[in-house]
Amino acid sequence: MPGMEVFGAEERKEVMDVLETGALFRYGHEDLRKGMWKAREFEAEVRKFTGARFAHAVSSGSTAVASMMAAAGIGHGHEVIVPPFTFVAPVEGVFLGGALPLFGEIDETLCLSPEGIEKVITPNTKAVLLVHMCGAAADLEGILKVCEKHDLVLLEDCGQAMGAFYKGKSVGLFGRAGAFSFDYFKIATCGEGGVTISDDREIYDKMDQVSDHGHTHIGDNRGMEDHHFMGFNYRINEFSAAIGLAQMRKLPDVVRVNKKNKKHLKDRLKEVEDITFRYLTDEEGDSATFLNFFFPSRQIARKAFDQFGKDQVGGITYWYTNMYHYINQWDHIKKMSYPAPLSIHALGAPQDYHQLELSRSEDVMSRMASIGIRCTWKEDELENFADKLVKSIKKVM
């Protein structure tokens, strides 16, 4: 991912600001910080880039999801529709928030489909936790219609999708709230960090309080602030926020170069017959962090990945066998394994996780290859990679 590729003087400058003041905590200590509030500045850059009314920085994408779910009232016993293709974190968030995951189908968008959502809705379904996978938006128009029809709360996990838009509007602003990850492997990184966004003041205020033990952050005496409800420690620190601040300022250029490099690779792959590509609901709004394409069959996909190994063509992921991103490897999820009792252990699962019918997802995932786009490729590096990639694929097609 580009975030870690573009570390430089800008990140060092912002971190040194924090070191020079010694104000590592994001709240208070005005006497130390010399007017520098890195978390606030980071949030302002996120608001500027996404167009969100409100943004709140937290310690990770996972705590962003947890804050968003709690603020939206999603918890004990609520059924929440989730995708089988995602980093496992949002599914864990549903379990740990006391809710019950319902797995719906994805399609060639690589995200939950409107039909996949509609198929698994029950009278107890409360929300859809939509994950915008691999840097591009889901079919938001269709999904919003389903949510409105069934009165479902839409929450957006945009962990991999900072920089993605749908018809001119940032992902994360279509549901009640959106959650972004800024971990080390994202298009913009804090090392570890996350951000929630929303246009809803009430949701924002609740996310702000939930992420800091219920503090309202009103007034100048932290020890005497009101607390209307419980929260937990999901706070970001000033070091992480400082890095995120510098990274957000670089993001427009990163996306621009990503798009150029992705287009070049995609054009080269079009030289191979029977290769098809991920369906983009808004090609202009793609952050271009991944180029995803499909082989005509599972068998050919497996042969192709064997060939990539022989030809030493790196940087290509077969998510179908990835331990942390696709449900066929999630035995711990299917067994609902956790060191302590969860709500689902008392209430029961809404599906038999060992016998899920996900034929569309299986077909999509078993045929897909995913290339991480680098914004630091030199022209000759990109061309050499494209040559090796196309040559290797042609051997098995």
Looking at the structure, tell me whether residues 224 and 256 fall in a common domain.
no
Which of 250, 265, 283 lies at the terminal end of a domain, its last residue?
250
What confidence score (pLDDT) does residue 1 get? 63
Residue 60 near residue 244 (C-beta atoms within 8 A): no
The residues of the chain scoring below 50 in pLDDT are: none
Q: Cα angle vertex 373, ends 117, 371, to 5°?
A: 60
Looking at the structure, tell me whether residues 101 and 75 fall in a common domain.
yes
Looking at the structure, tell me whether residues 58 and 152 fall in a common domain.
yes
- With respect to residue 350, please indicate whether it lies within any of the assigned structural domains: no
Q: Is there a catalytic annotation at residue 310? A: no
Question: Which domain range does residue 260 map to?
Answer: 251-322+361-396
Output the six-digit token pair for 66: 């947890």
- Determine the residue type at 324: Y
Looking at the structure, tell me whether residues 106 and 229 fall in a common domain.
yes
Supply the CATH number for residue 89's domain: 3.40.640.10
Output the six-digit token pair for 86: 């995602």
The string of pLDDT tens digits covering residues 27-82 is: 999 999 999 999 999 999 999 999 999 999 999 999 999 999 999 999 999 999 99
Determine the distance from the C-alpha atom of residue 180 to the mean position of all C-alpha atoms in its chain, rounded to a whole number.
Answer: 6
Supply the CATH number for residue 383's domain: 3.90.1150.10
| pTM for this model (two decimals) | 0.97
What confidence score (pLDDT) does residue 223 get? 84
- With respect to residue 332, please indicate whether it lies within any of the assigned structural domains: no
Phi and psi torsions of 154, nearest 5°: -100, 125
Could you tell me the end-to-end alpha-carbon distance of the chain, in angstroms, rounded to an integer?
29
- With respect to residue 372, please indicate whether it lies within any of the assigned structural domains: yes
Which of 250, 275, 296 lies at the terminal end of a domain, its last residue?
250
Q: Are strands 276-277 and 194-198 parallel, antiparallel or unpaired?
A: unpaired
- With respect to residue 168, please indicate whether it lies within any of the assigned structural domains: yes
What confidence score (pLDDT) does residue 220 get? 84
Structural domain count of the chain: 2
Looking at the structure, tell me whether residues 244 and 265 fall in a common domain.
no
Looking at the structure, tell me whether residues 88 and 148 fall in a common domain.
yes
- With respect to residue 344, please indicate whether it lies within any of the assigned structural domains: no
Looking at the structure, tell me whether residues 239 and 314 fall in a common domain.
no
String of b and e for 226-241 (b: at least 16 CB within 10 Å)? eeeeebeebbbbbbbb
Which of 220, 250, 280 lies at the terminal end of a domain, its last residue?
250
> Which of 34, 48, 126, 186 is an active site residue?
186
